Structure 1
């Protein structure tokens, strides 16, 4: 069953309208619409159902869609904070529940926390290839990872992207700074994997 849509007319939301009613009103690709399930309004051509029914062209990514370096940095810092906290809590749980020797507790705790980067890699791959297309940090900053056409990336591409971050680090972080010198604000690992970081559209 087709969705019904709220349509912005002369700057004011009206409706909901059925697909037939939208057609009778001559809906245009740039008109803003929203369903009950959507958090924000989107242009009609951004919605797959409306593109298919009305023959709208798939939207091209615009410059204002690209996630800025500071957004990406803050999102990454937040993700590291979350993951580090999870591994510290996990270490505390394991050593205090299952280990009684004090020295063994210390080494076990260090060992578990040392796996944080591995956990971060898995976390990034899973979250970036999920329906959310973003880690928790990126979701908070309202940015997400997509392929060059703006689509959700596969698990394989997410793995490639996050492995390629090693290159960004080995270049003494120049790979990250490359985002300042190209129009699509791609870091080196984005270029290698064929990905972009874009902003979620807000109205």
Structure 2
């Protein structure tokens, strides 16, 4: 039984076709070649189509190079997470003010919990990255997630180790974070140590 679906193929940067499935064998289709079928909102790579993997012998690449999240995406995701954590802290302080009277006491309450913010971020980051979604709010908004080197979900222990390792990435002068510019997989030091990747869903 023949597959009569028509495919549009990006060749030398230009969409060409449509082609029938059997005609694709005559083209120089690589795993990373972009194709689209009718009804699809966007192009996908050849290795993402089960029928093309079968026809052309590709394997699905969960961690293909172009799916690594860039430094600015990761930085923005981190800023979003920190914003929500700080927002939650401010709300807790305001609730505390209901039970505390006097300006001096309220100032003490406001500053007393500040050391707990990094701890809250550590726990929040670790739990969300080890969850089914593999990401906190910031990463989910950026369509990026944390995974193993094989593209799989990481364990809670691995997530905690990764987030604790951010202390090493931050010192000295955030070199461990800037290291991602030198790394082909855009890994920071804490990713290398934890054997993790931060990937994105699609080209952005």
Could you state the TM-score of these two structures normalised by the residue count of structure 2?
0.73
Matched positions, count: 179
Question: SS at the partner of 1:152?
Answer: coil
Question: SS at the partner of 1:10?
Answer: strand
| Counterparts of 2:6 and 2:179, CA distance in 1 | 42
Paired position in structure 2 for 1:131: 132
5+ residue gaps, structure 1: 1-7, 12-24, 34-38
Paired position in structure 2 for 1:14: none
**Match among 79, 82, 89 for residue 80 of structure 1:** 82
In the TM superposition, residue 201 of structure 1 has moved relative to its aligned partner by: 2.8
Q: Aligned in 2, Cα 1:56/1:181: closer, same or farther, shift over 3 Å?
A: closer
| Counterparts of 2:48 and 2:112, CA distance in 1 | 47
Paired position in structure 2 for 1:90: 92
Check the 8 A contact 1:146/1:198 in 2, yes or no.
yes
In the TM superposition, residue 184 of structure 1 has moved relative to its aligned partner by: 0.3
Paired position in structure 1 for 2:26: none
Superposition pairs of residues 27-66 of structure 1, within 5 angstroms: 57-66=59-68
Check the 8 A contact 1:143/1:200 in 2, yes or no.
yes
Check the 8 A contact 1:40/1:202 in 2, yes or no.
no
5+ residue gaps, structure 2: 9-20, 23-30
CA shift digits 1:86-132 (9 cap, x unpaired): 10111111222x21233211101111233211111111001111111
In the TM superposition, residue 73 of structure 1 has moved relative to its aligned partner by: 0.9
Superposition pairs of residues 111-126 of structure 1, within 5 angstroms: 111-126=112-127
Q: Report the more deviating stretch, 180-189 or 56-65.
A: 56-65
**Match among 64, 67, 70 for residue 68 of structure 1:** 70
| Counterparts of 1:147 and 1:32, CA distance in 2 | 29
Q: Aligned in 2, Cα 1:44/1:132: closer, same or farther, shift over 3 Å?
A: farther
Question: SS at the partner of 1:145?
Answer: strand
**Aligned residues: CA RMSD:** 3.4
| Counterparts of 2:111 and 2:172, CA distance in 1 | 28
| Counterparts of 2:152 and 2:77, CA distance in 1 | 20
**Match among 7, 11, 21 for residue 10 of structure 1:** 7
Check the 8 A contact 1:41/1:202 in 2, yes or no.
no
